[in-house]
Amino acid sequence: MSQEKKLISIGTAAKKAGISRQSLQYYLMVGLLKPTETTETGRRMFDQEAIERIKLIKKLNGSGYPLRAIRELFMEGRTKTKGSEK
């Protein structure tokens, strides 16, 4: 049962997430997000999971969180392992 991810371009991803293409490019530049896949020609492609993350970034930023704090939050979540909390 192989489920192929549907990948979309940066412009379409930005539109689906409700942000500008420039904002999405900025999110990529500051490390808030990575493309799901980059083609041989350098096109950055995104899946639905990436769209949801973009929406979360937009929502957090809209509620007053600076992008730097959001990035740190995401990085903290990536480095924590189960059982490491005290």
Q: HEC string of 7-60?
A: CEEHHHHHHHHCCCHHHHHHHHHCCCCCCCEECCCCCEEECHHHHHHHHHHHHH
Q: Please name the CATH architecture into which domain 8-79 falls.
A: Orthogonal Bundle (1.10)
pLDDT tens digits along 55-73: 999 999 999 999 999 999 8
Position 78: which residue type?
Answer: R
Q: How confident is the model at residue 75 (pLDDT cuts 50, 70, 90)?
A: confident
Q: Where in the chain are the domains?
A: 8-79
pLDDT tens digits along 3-28: 457 999 999 999 999 999 999 999 99
